[in-house]
């Protein structure tokens, strides 16, 4: 199949650290155009990847018919209007998390790409981390999980939430999305949300029932001593303990334990690969070529941000 012609809106730190190199590494994608308001960043990034078509106005870039897909790597606040313009131009679209500031924006973006027959994807990279995929497969092979736990802690003492929007929907959504990836769609939520030495919600604990009958546990504290992220999956006679992207253990008895690392599975210890950033780009490009729907499309991402809002506010916003 012909290579997918990719353009970028945004040449900031996150885009340059994981998304540009992942597209460049993908043999089925060609990086053909870049747009950024900062001309210095635009020049540095375009020079590094040998991209000649450079823009400071993304509307001019979208008028270029020789573009198949656009990575919009921007903060969440302007996403809805930009993504709508990209979809209205008939381009497939990839965005970072969160998919907007609130679920109403995610819904509007989903409707925009569906109206224009475009494919969409949110960068929930954990789903593509090799240790998470391998551990999930082991538990699924044993009949599937009946319980899962997700923890995501950080030390944000004295800080403000990112972008001044909910830290749950903005950042902790990564592990909330993983609970959905493991267990299905939520049917019931019981949660406890607190503000600890802050004027913003920074501690979240929830018991979630899913349509599979399984139960998920979320624990996220933003006044902890360090950054710590881990998952547990428990099935019938099988348990997986995951520290993505580094390592996982799968137990099938008190003595039988399989251990594997992200570096072993990926063939490299590069965080961009072991944490799933490269894998998510490969999936997006492959779905465009095969005319398939990416698993973290906007409509699916809507369920993840709605679950975050359900946990925080007692019900989904949309």
Render pLDDT for 29-64 as a digit per residue (tens, 0 to 9): 999 999 999 999 999 999 999 999 999 999 999 998
Give 84-121 pLDDT, tens digit per residue.
Answer: 999 999 999 999 999 999 999 999 999 999 999 999 99
Whether residues 225 and 185 fall in one domain: yes
Give 239-289 pLDDT, tens digit per residue.
Answer: 999 998 999 999 998 889 999 999 999 999 999 999 999 999 999 999 999
User: Which residues constitute the domain of residue 76?
Assistant: 4-123
Comparing C-alpha atoms, which of 132, 129, 128, 112 is closest to residue 120?
A: 112
Domain count, the chain: 2
Q: What tokens appear for 16 in the block?
A: 């340059």
Given 105, 123, 141, which residue is the final one in a domain? 123
* Confidence (pTM): 0.96
Whether residues 148 and 251 fall in one domain: yes
**CB-CB contact of 153 with 223 (8 Å):** no
Q: Give the residue-averaged pLDDT of 126-130.
A: 98
**CB-CB contact of 263 with 271 (8 Å):** no
The model's confidence at residue 209, banded by pLDDT at 50, 70 and 90, is very high
How many CB atoms lie under 10 A from the CB of residue 227?
Answer: 10
pLDDT above 80 for 318: no
């Amino acid at each position: 199949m012909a290579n997918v012609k990719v353009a970028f809106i945004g040449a900031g730190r996150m885009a340059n650290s994981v998304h540009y190199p992942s597209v460049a590494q993908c043999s089925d994608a060609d990086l053909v155009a870049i747009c950024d308001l900062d001309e210095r960043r635009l020049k540095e990034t375009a020079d590094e990847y040998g991209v000649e078509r450079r823009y400071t106005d993304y509307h001019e870039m979208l008028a270029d018919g020789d573009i198949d897909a656009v990575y919009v790597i921007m903060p969440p606040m302007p996403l809805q209007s930009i993504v709508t313009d990209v979809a209205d131009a008939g381009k497939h679209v990839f965005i970072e998390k969160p998919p907007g500031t609130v679920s109403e924006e995610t819904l509007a973006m989903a409707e925009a790409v569906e109206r224009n027959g475009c494919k969409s994807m949110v960068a929930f990279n954990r789903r593509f981390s090799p240790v998470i995929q391998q551990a999930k497969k082991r538990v699924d092979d044993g009949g599937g999980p009946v319980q899962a736990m997700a923890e995501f802690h950080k030390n944000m003492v004295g800080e403000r939430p990112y972008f001044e929007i909910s830290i749950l929907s903005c950042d902790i959504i990564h592990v909330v999305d993983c609970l959905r990836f493991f267990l299905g769609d939520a049917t019931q939520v019981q949660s406890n949300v607190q503000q600890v030495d802050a004027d913003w919600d920074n501690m979240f604990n929830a018991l979630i029932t899913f349509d599979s009958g399984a139960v998920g546990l979320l624990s996220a504290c933003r006044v902890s001593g360090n950054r710590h992220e881990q998952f547990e999956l428990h099935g019938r006679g099988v348990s997986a303990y995951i520290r993505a992207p580094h390592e996982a253990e799968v137990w099938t008895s008190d003595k039988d334990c399989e251990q594997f690392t992200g570096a072993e599975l990926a063939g490299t210890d590069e965080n961009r690969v072991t944490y799933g950033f490269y894998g998510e780009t490969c999936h997006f490009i492959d779905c465009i070529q095969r005319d398939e729907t990416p698993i973290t499309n906007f409509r699916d991402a809507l369920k993840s941000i709605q679950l975050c809002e359900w946990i925080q506010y007692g019900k989904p916003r949309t």
